[in-house]
Structure 1
């Protein structure tokens, strides 16, 4: 790796489609924080309210398409973006709490 490579950040693979929530700078910062085994994999959109509607059961169903770790990012009405690394598939809780 040259000094120029270090300055330009990690080499990110293309996403299956552009993110509505994350900039490339945010993606680069998240990429270096991911577990090493997760790096180098193409990022594939599994669920988006813009594309799939607002349905929790659709989120659960689509999370079954990719077993293992998934990056869940959420945007709120004040344009804050947050999330976490989750183990997919997601499942509803049997307990009545959020």
Structure 2
């Protein structure tokens, strides 16, 4: 169950990372509220996952999910470049996440 909490914590991390872009410097109220709520939920779920998972593994997986999801949504939603090298690096992060899951 801890891995499920951690997965959703990572999804909410993606939400707040992308949400920061839409707050436009915290000048837009609705995106700001949604971003802050996403931050709170993400940290809360991470805290629950940390009850049973090793902190180094959980933190690395949490940030990895956030990094991969944010990078991919940046490409899809915000027009960030999708070069072969960039996508390969994202793939390496995914390999690291899977590796940590397998050894934990």
Same fold per superposition (TM over 0.5): no
- TM-score for both structures, normalised by structure 1: 0.32
Structure number, greater radius of gyration: 1
- TM-score for both structures, normalised by structure 2: 0.30
Higher normalized contact order (CA 8 Å, seq sep 6+, divided by chain length)? 2
User: Which structure has greater strand proportion?
Assistant: 1
